[in-house]
Amino acid sequence: MLAIAHGELIQIFRNRLILVTMLVMPAASSAFYMYLHDRIPALDLGAVAAVLMFLVVTMGLYTTAVTTLASRRQNLFLKRLRSTAVDDTRILAGLLLPVTAITLAQVGVVLVVLSVVADPPADLLLTGAATLATVVMMIGLALATAGVTNSPEHAQVTTLPVLIGVLAVSGWVGFTGTEELTLLKRLLPGGAASELVVNAWNGGVPLSESLFLLAPTLAWVVVAVTLATRIFRWEPRR
């Protein structure tokens, strides 16, 4: 698995498109939101943190993971790996480990910078739990999306619904709260995780109530993995 991960890390830094998608775009978007917070002091800091986290995870992890899996399938690399002694789980883990590690590092840097230029989170551990739950959810959604993605170019289309949808939900929940349409907002992908980040950053919400918000995110993980096991393909469609 580590050998696969090492090879994949080399490929990431050789591919300019993936490098731009995974590093430059999230960083630029994060800088823009930080600029807005600096210019608009009344902007909710927890909401800004939630949107920044989802920007990095969706644009850096989700889209890159789908593109990577589609590319490795198209050039038959997945098929060749499957003919070795490495099992399916370790193959996928090896392919996704580098981009996941880079994304977590990016999220950490962005949130640390936000803590320095503004205020740190009220509950650091809860913020970390929300981030990890979000990362796992987006990995599951990436596996499911890769199942219907024929090529790296096709990934630019197939990732859009989830990418736009999750970002829209995170902004909606982050900046408007869940006082209205509570159940709908929490059940949508990214809604509960966004609320959890807001609560963790701003504080003032009982820990038991905040931990309850992990349930919808983990439910989306189950849904995504179930879909992935049904539609993920290891060879190009003939």
pLDDT in tens, 20-54: 666 676 677 667 766 766 666 566 788 888 988 99
Q: Does residue 116 carry a pLDDT above 70?
A: yes
- Report, as an integer, the average pLDDT of 212-219: 89
Chain CA centroid to CA 139, Å: 7
pLDDT band at 86 (very low <50, low <70, confident <90, very high): confident
219: its two tokens: 């439910």
- Does the structure show a pLDDT above 90 at 160? yes
Q: Is residue 18 predicted with pLDDT exceeding 70?
A: no
With cut-offs at 50, 70 and 90, classify the pLDDT of residue 161.
Answer: very high
- CA dist., res. 104 & res. 110, Å (int): 10
The pLDDT assigned to 33 comes to 67
